[in-house]
Amino acid sequence: MTHSEISDTYYPSYAMPHLNDYDQYPSFEEFEIIIQDYLKNLSSKKRDKALIDRNRYVMILQVLKDPRNTAISTAQFRFWVKKMFQLHAKQVVCHDGKPVATREEIYGILVHAHREAHHGGRDKTSALVRRRYSWIPKELIARFVRHCPFCIARRNGNQQSSLPFDTYYDSGSPTY
């Protein structure tokens, strides 16, 4: 089973109707800014391994498939890989028994999980993500939810009304 097949198993495309609701989530461009800001605020030591991009994923996969090959990267990198990851189904890199999400996959995973949580917030979104994937920092999930336009509107009490006109509320006198 390949990594994309694992992704399809956890988030099958047939279960995802082609919804036109992407305006209810941070855009991909906004999410890239969120990632850059997240990484910028990490120490250089943590920044390097905080997210695993596709190239690093391939190197991890190579080490796990051929652990005695000393030509792959550095001894320190190979040690880290053997300590942190396992190989499942010959093609899937896992951490704590769950597939490792690459940086390139995180946006889609977060949109899907946040949709599945019905914009339920950081903890509900995080629980859904953690049930299926590893290597997605909780802080990144929190920032994604914090920047969600739908959730921002709901927090601010600006949910779209089904009424075709604005309703006026006199905030000067309470109503009981």
What does the pLDDT look like over 128-171, one tens digit per residue? Answer: 999 999 999 999 999 999 999 999 999 898 655 333 333 333 33
Sheet arrangement for strand 98-99: 86-88, 92-95, 98-99
Nearest alpha-carbon partner for 142 in 37, 29, 48: 37
| pLDDT of amino acid 90 | 78
| First-residue to last-residue Cα distance in the chain | 61
- What's the pLDDT tens digit per position in 1-48? 444 444 444 444 433 445 678 889 999 999 999 999 999 999 999 999
Task: Give the count of beta carbons closer than 10 Å to the beta carbon of residue 42.
Answer: 15
